A = this chain, B = another copy of it.
């Protein structure tokens, strides 16, 4: 059921780096995005794949991880993502990407979870460095980086408390806690 996939699809940031992902799998995931809705059917999104250690390291060096975990600079060597999909917008097709990147990212991440993988949608990117390192032409707007791997962390959902604090946090056992707003708090009664 979709609900099981969605519940399993947490933002994972620590992976078994011994587990590699082949580019064929990434192509399958992009094919899910390809068949997902696109505003005015313009399909301006383009994708860069990465499943090799060297390119993975280049991309990793451009990412900022888990803003709320002030003492955690990101996954250590051995726990880093083993694949990436970078979502670009081809500005010669459309200047504004609208909601297309979000739709595509969700299709890809759900597909990853179905394959026993997982990852994190990262918008906090040093885009200038990434563009230079990967020689991304100026016609492509860098939208998102999807970091993927075999997750090794436990992510636990809980309800936002009375203090309305949505910041995720890690406990002494390294369990990652994520507060979610209650259903009745996000449905407007008009």
Known: A46-B187, A46-B188, A49-B187. A37 touches B181 (CB 8 A): no
In the complex, chain A residues 72-122 whose Cβ is within 8 Å of any chain B Cβ: 88, 98-107, 109-111, 114, 121
Give 19 new A-B contacts, CB below 8 A, not counting A3-B31, A6-B36, A43-B166: A2-B5, A2-B32, A2-B107, A9-B36, A27-B187, A30-B183, A30-B187, A37-B121, A40-B68, A41-B68, A42-B166, A46-B186, A46-B187, A48-B188, A48-B190, A99-B99, A99-B105, A102-B106, A134-B190
Seen from chain A, the residues whose Cβ lies within 8 Å of a Cβ on chain B are: 1-3, 5-7, 9, 11, 27, 30-32, 34-37, 39-43, 45-49, 67-68, 88, 98-107, 109-111, 114, 121, 123, 134-136, 140, 143-144, 157, 166-168, 178-181, 183, 186-188, 190
